[in-house]
Structure 1
């Protein structure tokens, strides 16, 4: 197989992996979700905040220099982007909390795994001793004979 065909074959294998497809779907849904959050901020929250603060963030700007072609620093748009990010992060946080709580509620309960015992009972004095003990620390009986039987 030529290097070109091998490269294309490896690329096909990479692109068809589940993780890459999941990532692509996540990016598409994330883009749509970002549009929703941007609209929520721009069309609903910013005007409400404008009532209380008297300022629409998207109109905040600073002209650097003078003249018709002077650069303009649109820091209001940056503030709007920060608000969009915080809203998006908060909504995603809430969604993940809800999904995790539903998973815990409806997930099948796991049976607790049996833990190997760490102690055993001395056959002579009936006290609890370490599982690896060869002599009882209480009655000093040798426990090697038990293992021989």
Structure 2
């Protein structure tokens, strides 16, 4: 606790956060996610893209690019074997959209995997809650049946009004 205002210090709050299971689960998830990202990239680059490249006429997606217009040309020095400048050459700039396409495919694969994991978890959670609900309904039905059976065995005692009405009826008949 902070000595100034009685509130927990930043360090105390951080210790509490770190010691919670959620923080550790988040850390483990991050590490596993990073490893899974490498697997997804490998699946995309090593398995999917070569097949796509076959249908694209052997085009390598990482080589797909578009040269940007020479609005502000950039030149670099050309050196000979002695390291002397012998001229300049234009340095082209490219928009490499093939890498972007690979990144989109990676994203879609990861999104699909996460979707299926979340869907499976939701299905399991729903099944568990349905079983709990059915068990609670069965217990309530059993309790209601037991209460009805008990009520049938032991009829309730007559109320004061019922006793007075019965006495009145008996006095009328005399």
- 1:79 paired residue among 78, 82, 101: 101
3-state DSSP of counterpart to 2:117: helix
Partner of 1:19: 22
2:11 equivalent to 1:8: yes
Structure holding more helix per residue = 2
Give aligned pairs, total: 117
Partner of 2:62: 58
Structure 2: runs of 5+ lacking an equivalent: 75-89, 142-160, 163-174
Cα 1:105/1:10, change in 2 over 3 Å: closer
Return 98-107 or 63-72, whichever deviates more.
98-107
Alignment partners' CA distance in 1, 2:121 and 2:36: 17
Task: State the Cα deviation string for residues 46-83 of structure 1 (Å, max 9, x = none).
Answer: 00011112232221112223554443221111110000
**What are the within-5 Å matches in structure 2 for residues 26-37 of structure 1?**
26-37=29-40
Q: Which has the higher contact order (CA 8 A, sep 6+)?
A: 2
Larger Rg: 2
Partner of 1:40: 43
Alignment partners' CA distance in 2, 1:101 and 1:8: 40
Alignment partners' CA distance in 1, 2:50 and 2:103: 15
Partner of 1:121: none
Cα 1:31/1:6, change in 2 over 3 Å: same
Are the counterparts in 2 of residues 63 and 70 from structure 1 also a CA contact under 8 Å?
yes
Alignment partners' CA distance in 1, 2:121 and 2:16: 31
TM-score by length of 1: 0.62
Structure 1: runs of 5+ lacking an equivalent: 116-144
Cα 1:9/1:103, change in 2 over 3 Å: closer
